[in-house]
Structure 1
Amino acid sequence: MTEEIIIAGFGGQGVLSMGKILAYSGMMQGEEVSWMPSYGPEMRGGTANVTVILSDDRISSPYLKVYDTAIILNQQSMDKFEHSVKPGGVLIYDPNGIIDHPTRTDIAIYQIEGNRLATEMGNKKVFNMIVLGGFLKVKPIVQLDNVIAGLKKSLPERYHHLIPLNKEAITKGMQHIISYKVESALIDH
């Protein structure tokens, strides 16, 4: 099994930490992992993305042009990465702020309203964990126990009291991800 993932959005959305937690989770399962962040000099508010590879085999290169899964959190990232998903792959996105929704019919597309759900939970900072939960529902490549262990590894100890809230956010994401049908969306417009 090899899973090549791009997570992209604005700096401050937890893109890089979502990738780091996924990478740590893979390590906890004995996987080979690669975590390669990319962000502009402005960070918060600028665009950021991270490539994560989890594999049973050695990873030859962290540089990718196409991905099994793209997790898209803003319009700029949708414009840049929608066409980088391999045919038969998966695109997961938060529709908040997305004007041009995905149009490909050769990939599976899912929506998760992470922004809205985080607001309902009363903590915008769990947005990325909600999205991660949605991803893990669609592609259960790491076990929840390993995600929690990954959280413990990546969060400073002073934030470990937030782990139960993060676990709740992951579960909420798993419960609220929905399939997005391009055909019906195009007909409605």
Structure 2
Amino acid sequence: MTKTIRIAGFGGQGVMLLGQILAYSATIQGMNAIWVPTYGPETRGGTANCMVTISDTPIYSPVFKDSDDLIVLNEPSYQKFKHTVKSDGFMLFNESLIQIDENPKYQVKGVKANDLALSVGEPRAINFVLLGAYLKQNPIFDENTIMEALKYFFGSKKEHLIEVNKKAFNLGQTV
């Protein structure tokens, strides 16, 4: 099994963390993983995307052209990457910020991630709403693995944010 996932959005939306969580979750389960970040020249509000490859066999290249899956958080990223999903692939998009402008050749699911993140009291948790929805569709990792990865990346400095992100993740699992 090899899965390629592209995650794209604005800087500050948690794009990179989402990719790191997926890649680290794979390593927790003894799989191979590569995370490749790409930033625009801006710090916050600029473009950001990352490529994640997860495999139970060796991974020979860290980059790919077309992905199995696309998780897209904003309209400019949707416009840029909507044609880079394989025909049998899957796109999960933030329906709060994106209007689909065509019927793609792959499977699509929209989630009002901004609205759901606000409902748990943390507007920055849109990435975890989408992660929950993504893993419901593609159950490659369970909640315990994801939370273990989140604790690793947040450490003691951001430990207070783990519970709200867990709520956002669980809310994403319900849509």
TM-score if structure 1 supplies the norm length?
A: 0.89
Contact 2:120–2:164 under 8 Å retained in 1? no
Task: Provide the rounded CA distance (Å) in 1 between the counterparts of 2:82 and 2:117.
Answer: 24
- The C-alpha deviation readout for 1:28-63, integer Å capped at 9, x for no partner, is 111100000001121310010010111001111111
Task: Provide the rounded CA distance (Å) in 1 between the counterparts of 2:54 and 2:110.
Answer: 23
Secondary structure of residue in 2 paired with 1:7: strand
Corresponding position of 2:28: 28
Contact 2:91–2:107 under 8 Å retained in 1? yes
- Residue 169 of structure 1 pairs with residue 168 of structure 2: yes
- Residue 133 of structure 1 pairs with residue 135 of structure 2: no
The structure with the largest helix share of the pair is 1
- The C-alpha deviation readout for 1:132-155, integer Å capped at 9, x for no partner, is 101001101112111111001111
Secondary structure of residue in 1 paired with 2:48: strand
Query: Matches of residues 13-162 of structure 1 in structure 2 within 5 Å?
Result: 13-99=13-99, 101-162=100-161
- TM-superposed deviation, 1:8: 0.2
Corresponding position of 1:186: none
Contact 1:82–1:102 under 8 Å retained in 2? no
Larger Rg: 1
Contact 1:78–1:102 under 8 Å retained in 2? no
Corresponding position of 1:3: 3
Corresponding position of 1:184: none
Compare 151-160 and 166-175 and name the one that shifted more.
Answer: 151-160
Contact 2:90–2:107 under 8 Å retained in 1? yes
Q: Percent identity?
A: 41
CA distance change for structure 1 residues 166 and 95 in 2, over 3 Å: closer, same or farther?
same
Task: Provide the rounded CA distance (Å) in 1 between the counterparts of 2:147 and 2:97.
Answer: 29
Letter matched to residue 32 of structure 2: E
Task: Provide the rounded CA distance (Å) in 1 between the counterparts of 2:101 and 2:128.
Answer: 22
Show structure 2 runs of 5+ residues with no match: none
- TM-superposed deviation, 1:104: 3.5
Letter matched to residue 168 of structure 2: A
Task: Provide the rounded CA distance (Å) in 2 between the counterparts of 1:174 and 1:5.
Answer: 18
Moved over 6 A (4+): none
Task: Provide the rounded CA distance (Å) in 1 between the counterparts of 2:125 and 2:50.
Answer: 18
Task: Provide the rounded CA distance (Å) in 1 between the counterparts of 2:125 and 2:97.
Answer: 18
Compare 157-166 and 37-46 and name the one that shifted more.
Answer: 157-166
TM-score if structure 2 supplies the norm length?
A: 0.95
Task: Provide the rounded CA distance (Å) in 2 between the counterparts of 1:133 and 1:33.
Answer: 20
Aligned length: 175
Secondary structure of residue in 1 paired with 2:135: helix
